[in-house]
């Protein structure tokens, strides 16, 4: 009895209209091509900041610090407009981040992504070895994003850390999606809270609680 002819398996890269079915990290040459074509936007941009698979980003002069004497606790369901205060430093003025302190900063660079690329923001190893963390949960950047990136800065060392305007603070890498997002960040129906931000932006989580409370309950 002859053996059955094996059924050919379609290559994953040729399915779904010849679209790749996986995400891939952009290399330096791919990042350069995307920047030159205007698919990815980074302003200002220095070609010297291009790394093998990422771009170095720098610290802006604005910080949003928490004022602990204005509220007894942080209420995630209520607006607390005076919970934080915006500060700016001069060119050579240090911002001192104390042990255990948490503040919001931002990248000097304005970043724009198309609807088929996502990005990851990561801290620098050299700064991590000093106890400086640049984000706790906000390392993921959605397709369609436009704005400066808010940094969640914290000092886990035992000594204060001096931060300076323009210093290299992290790196951003890019991933090509399997297909373009149907509703990229900034789409009107998403209510994207931080699209177009140009300064360290306080949490708008309370807006989610308000909108959900207004929706009729499902039965």
Concatenate the DSSP letters of all residues of 138-180 into one string. --EE-TT-EEEEEEEEEE-SSS-EEE-TT-EEEEEEEEE-SS-
**Structure confidence at residue 188 (pLDDT):** 75
- The per-residue pLDDT for 213 is 46
pLDDT of res. 2: 45
- In this predicted structure, what is the pLDDT of residue 110? 97
**Confidence (pLDDT) at 89:** 97
* Contact status, residue 159 vs residue 99, Cβ threshold 8 Å: yes
pTM (two decimals): 0.80
Phi, psi torsion values for 8, nearest 5 degrees: -65, 140
- For the chain, residues with pLDDT lower than 50 are 1-17, 212-219
> Would you state the pLDDT for residue 172?
97
A 10 A CB-CB count for 48 gives 7
Give the chain's domains with CATH numbers: 21-71+81-190 (2.70.40.10)
What amino acid positions are annotated as catalytic residues? 152
**pLDDT tens for residues 154-210?**
999 999 999 999 999 999 999 999 999 999 987 877 767 778 687 887 777 766 755
């Amino acid at each position: 009895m002859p053996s059955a002819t094996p059924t050919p398996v379609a290559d994953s890269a040729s399915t779904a209209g010849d679209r790749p079915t996986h995400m891939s990290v952009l290399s330096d040459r791919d990042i350069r091509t995307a920047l030159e074509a205007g698919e990815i936007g980074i302003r200002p941009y220095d070609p010297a900041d291009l790394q093998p698979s990422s771009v170095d980003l720098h610290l802006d002069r604005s910080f949003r610090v928490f004022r602990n004497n204005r509220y007894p606790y942080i209420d995630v369901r209520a607006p607390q407009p005076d919970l934080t205060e915006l500060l700016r430093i001069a060119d050579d003025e240090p911002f001192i981040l104390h042990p255990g302190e948490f503040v919001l900063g931002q990248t000097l660079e304005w970043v724009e992504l198309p609807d088929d690329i996502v990005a990851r923001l990561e801290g620098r190893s050299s700064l991590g070895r000093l106890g400086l963390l640049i984000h706790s949960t906000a390392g993921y950047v959605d397709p369609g994003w436009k704005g400066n990136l808010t940094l969640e800065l914290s000092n886990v060392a035992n000594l204060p850390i001096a931060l300076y305007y323009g210093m290299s603070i992290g790196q951003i890498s890019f991933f090509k999606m399997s297909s373009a997002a149907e509703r990229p960040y900034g789409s009107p129906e998403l209510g994207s809270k931080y699209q177009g931000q140009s300064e360290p932006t306080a949490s708008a989580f309370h807006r989610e609680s308000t909108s959900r409370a207004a929706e009729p309950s499902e039965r």
